[in-house]
Amino acid sequence: MTAVQRLRNALQMLEVDDNIVAEIFAGYETLTDQVPKGERAAFFIQAVQRMETQLGEQGSRAVRDACACSKGGWRLKAVQKIARQMAGKSLEDRLAALGEVTHMGKPTRNIDGSITARIGEKGGFECPCPVFQGAGIKEPVSITYCYCCAGHFRFHYQIALGVPLRTRQVESSALASGSTEPCRFIYEIDER
């Protein structure tokens, strides 16, 4: 599924009013992922701004979190393997095993019990999101956009760790900082 379609699906799943959806897509009604990267990136920059205005911080971040991509393939197989191999092990042992998977960050448990996904030790790297990578966008983009990536990591972390997670915050990101900061996503164990 494409990034544009995931956004449409998330808006529908979260029952966002049709008039707000129309406003988010205004000027890009027929947009597909086949357009040049710069045009697609420009759409997502304005779409997030419009969502923040219409849905507020919490609503727009929930939509982006629901847009999580890359839920299959080798990543899914890797976290399923951890879940099987680490059955009955502590959360800390599972976090350590997850930290060994390439491109899944270095998760750590925080003093308050939350979990931080640490992608990169410091800034200086281009955002790996396929929507923005190579699109030529140099200025920072709203951190709300990065809740999609947080949702991606949350999906995989839940499987590997065997606990339901809720995204608390995107603390920093390469995209929102103009590549000066690393990506940090904070999750809470969902006890509900």
Average pLDDT score over residue span 143-169: 96
Q: What is the pLDDT of residue 38?
A: 86
The model's pLDDT over 87-135, given as tens digits with 9 standing for 90+, comes to 999 999 999 999 999 889 999 999 999 999 999 888 788 888 888 887 7
Task: Using the predicted structure, report yes or no on whether residue 20 has a pLDDT greater than 70.
Answer: yes
pTM for this prediction: 0.92
List the domain boundaries for the chain: 3-65, 73-189
Cα dihedral: 79, 104, 161, 116 (round 10): -170
Q: What is the mean pLDDT of residues 158-170?
A: 95
Q: What is the pLDDT of residue 103?
A: 87
What is the distance between the alpha carbons of residues 108 and 119, in angstroms, rounded to a whole number?
A: 11
CA distance 159 to 145: 23
| Rounded average pLDDT over 53-69 | 94
